[in-house]
Structure 1
């Protein structure tokens, strides 16, 4: 490959001192508003899809809604593979972030418009926009903290950055609840677009402060060309997706392999991309780069199970919060919540709802279409009639508010966790980064174990579960998330060869994509699990195995990190 000159940005030198780089705070607030929009949208999307059309929703059954949500999560995390590549080679990281932000905002505003065409067009814009935005804002931060005097602060910088993510994720659900309860779904989706535009203004007005992070390394002679990368990964992925989608046709298998055609298409498409990343490792000629890539790929493989549990937040746990959790509040709490739009009214008055069997599975006609009949709100479908309100109406805590529990605990626990590890570090007892990840995966298993207990203690066909179980589950999982998610970003920055950092960020988000699709795949079978304990027990066992594997690999990965960075 012929070397070409790489355009370098104008850099305003940043003084070297004891504090953090000013660019960290620019990226903090940009990401905070971008995540405000993303988590607002994903927090209400499933609820919007299953809401009866008479209420302004789409009226999908659980299976169809979970399939679409899983596909969306998968693609929104798969697109960074392309966005990272184009930023590495052509656009630069700041331009990619700005382009991605505009596409994201356009996508959210499209969701606010009525009609299926606007919805699917909006999802497409968000998926593409996230591909440009997500890997590259993290790469800018990593490049800034590669500077010698800032490198020791990199893990802390990513934890601060991650708090920005979760402040946005916490606030957004209250905004979503207020707008959708008072004005309708469209206004809530539009608020996500406004949030993204605010983030763009912050980013674009501070470009000089983050210029240090927009340095692209010159191409090396043995580097794969962009055409070769696309030809060996993207094109095969598209072909595999087409094969996967049509494999369920009567002339071939006559049935799907993974529940729905979209599941088959996505999982088939992942195979060539996974092979591409493996080849990136096997063909690497520099020993140091090869060891770093090997450690990263091992970490990626183990982390998938963690992210499957994380994405239950948008699938299985949302279903549990919406239909199986007692969301009634005391009169005093109801009065306090009313002005903030945190309450939604459900009614026993007949309107179109999905017809279900005795185990709350959607009933379909001979053509596979969901049958809708006049009936009460789905909240009452697993509540005995003697417990129905006399006036036919209940005011409940809006389901999307539960989406704010996790980011609240992130903000509340982050400084405590950082403080504990700082205390251990002073005594020479701080666990290595890979051991922290293993602990985080075990905590994720523990959070799902709480849901096993909750499901076992509640007969969900005649009663509701306490909200306390969800609070406990999110609290335990959150500590694990603090140990895995920001550390994962930091590890990608530490171990990636410089010219493929954003591409490896894309690989980190590929892990999220596969996990998101698996989470959606699991939720499509939600109605088939007559015993909900089995659903969550699958997650407990899988995460337990993944945690053990991570512990086994931890010494090797820690040595590679030490070789690359000089510290664990």
Structure 2
């Protein structure tokens, strides 16, 4: 496999694998940590989901700036190393039990990802500009994408074991170690980057950096403050102080306005031959926002589903293995505590009080009566964050099959265009949500726990959609972007991801407001179906632009 691709690919593959090991280990435990009453911050579902959504939104917003700085000033290699170091430091600090330190750690991760994420993808794309590799670009990105998911798969086992054995801080430290390993591996491949790592500098017609600061970053900060303060800051005396769900959501949406306007201006200022490719990319960016809004529920609403509504009890040999590897912990059943929790829940709900978790999580609240253990006995429950390995596990299994499928079609000259793959990816992703609708109905709308196989099936379907869309998105950006703004347009892809991530946090924060959880998933289905229909409408135009550029 490797000998048909650039020699740098294994190093970039492993660097990204270890970087994603750190990131997804952190993401897998983030909301659980925030909601933990004893060792976390005792946040409500809404508070944790809102902070999660804002965090992952900002993580994918900074690549806009990181890509620009790499393009013009630092080059890709220096930017990747700088970003990796900042992220590693952020992970090490994240487990310190201080809200101030937590925000500092999040900031380091946000800035670090801005330097790392767009530039390693762009560096990879540069190698496939050579004639001998051009027809293997989609395959190369699929291999690279599998590296992401190898890291995302194995990390949760380390996170679960360390959290159970030693606590949250050690799990976050493991994320930092993974990140630093990724930086080391990347540096080992330095000799292979020669000729592909050069910075492009400021090209004729480019907006000077001081103008970007003055006309984009400063306005974004000002708009963000306006969004935060527009109706006042939330407090007990002013609970309805926001427009879009929370003060942070208002601030983020307002702050995005200048950045979105900047990307729109690239079209109007572009050379004639670059206008249609830029327009195509902007259209794709707009559509995939809805995909990320639903897909990124894996770290919030679907983690809540795994924690509260999924049967996580292990028995027999499975229990011995999971307990031996410290991937499960024992929980004692106390009937009185369950009844007390339900009484507190009803009382808070009747009084309109935002529910705070009591001894979170209380596993037995919705176990079927005939499945309840004896009073005072203990059961073994696998760690909730292990559910985060289902999606990357599917990616590892399905990536070779998807690559083989498209190779088969390519050899028969029937391979669909990249935009066509994205359109079908959106449609397949929409179908995955129907699995969760069925899961809610099987569990009597949360009154009883359901099998983990519902999550496995949901992730299996959406993973097929993801493999049709996400690596293809990276590929189409590198194919259509004008050469002088490739990293900037890669930043645009991550800007779309960022907005989708924030929308995901907004969706997840409304979880507790839906009495019937099927309605929550029907909303998600509607969003993805709308996105897929929009993409199919645009297909003829997008394929024509691809043909004009002489690419598929």
User: TM (normalized to structure 1)?
Assistant: 0.91
Corresponding residue number in structure 1 for 2:308: 323
Corresponding residue number in structure 1 for 2:263: 277
Corresponding residue number in structure 2 for 1:84: 67
Corresponding residue number in structure 2 for 1:220: 203
Corresponding residue number in structure 1 for 2:500: 515
Q: State whether structure 2 residue 47 is matched by structure 1 residue 61.
A: no
Q: Does the C-alpha gap of structure 1 residues 70 and 347 become closer, same or farther in structure 2, counting only changes over 3 Å?
A: farther
1:436 to 400, 421, 428: 421
Q: State whether structure 2 residue 44 is matched by structure 1 residue 37.
A: no
Q: Does the C-alpha gap of structure 1 residues 348 and 265 become closer, same or farther in structure 2, counting only changes over 3 Å?
A: farther
Count how many residue pairs are aligned between Structure 1 and Structure 2. Answer: 546
Q: Is the 8 A contact 1:74 1:513 kept in 2?
A: yes
Q: How does 1:191-270 map to 2 (within 5 A)?
A: 191-249=174-232, 255-270=241-256
Q: Is the 8 A contact 1:61 1:354 kept in 2?
A: no
Task: Measure, in 1, the Cα distance between the counterparts of 2:346 and 2:75.
Answer: 51
SS in 2 for 1:78: coil
Q: Is the 8 A contact 2:232 2:241 kept in 1?
A: yes
SS in 1 for 2:215: helix
Deviation at 1:563, TM superposition (A): 2.3
2:325 to 336, 340, 344: 340
SS in 2 for 1:22: coil
Q: Does the C-alpha gap of structure 1 residues 327 and 97 become closer, same or farther in structure 2, counting only changes over 3 Å?
A: same
Q: How does 1:5-20 map to 2 (within 5 A)?
A: 19-20=4-5
1:396 to 381, 387, 407: 381
Q: Does the C-alpha gap of structure 1 residues 144 and 376 become closer, same or farther in structure 2, counting only changes over 3 Å?
A: closer
Corresponding residue number in structure 1 for 2:519: 534
SS in 2 for 1:216: coil
User: TM (normalized to structure 2)?
Assistant: 0.94
Corresponding residue number in structure 2 for 1:298: 283
Q: Is the 8 A contact 1:348 1:377 kept in 2?
A: no
Q: Does the C-alpha gap of structure 1 residues 144 and 212 become closer, same or farther in structure 2, counting only changes over 3 Å?
A: farther
Task: Measure, in 2, the Cα distance between the counterparts of 1:44 and 1:388.
Answer: 27
Corresponding residue number in structure 2 for 1:173: 156
Q: State whether structure 2 residue 99 is matched by structure 1 residue 99.
A: no
CA deviations 1:422-466 (Å, max 9, x no partner) are 212222322211111111101110111111111122214431121
Task: Measure, in 2, the Cα distance between the counterparts of 1:357 and 1:474.
Answer: 35
Task: Measure, in 1, the Cα distance between the counterparts of 2:172 and 2:107.
Answer: 15
Corresponding residue number in structure 2 for 1:496: 481
Task: Measure, in 2, the Cα distance between the counterparts of 1:505 and 1:80.
Answer: 8
1:423 to 408, 417, 421: 408
RMSD, aligned CA: 2.5
Deviation at 1:407, TM superposition (A): 0.6
Deviation at 1:100, TM superposition (A): 0.4
Corresponding residue number in structure 2 for 1:378: 362
Q: Is the 8 A contact 1:111 1:118 kept in 2?
A: yes
Q: Is the 8 A contact 2:307 2:361 kept in 1?
A: no
Corresponding residue number in structure 2 for 1:132: 115
SS in 1 for 2:205: coil
Deviation at 1:548, TM superposition (A): 1.3
SS in 2 for 1:224: coil
Q: Is the 8 A contact 1:46 1:315 kept in 2?
A: yes
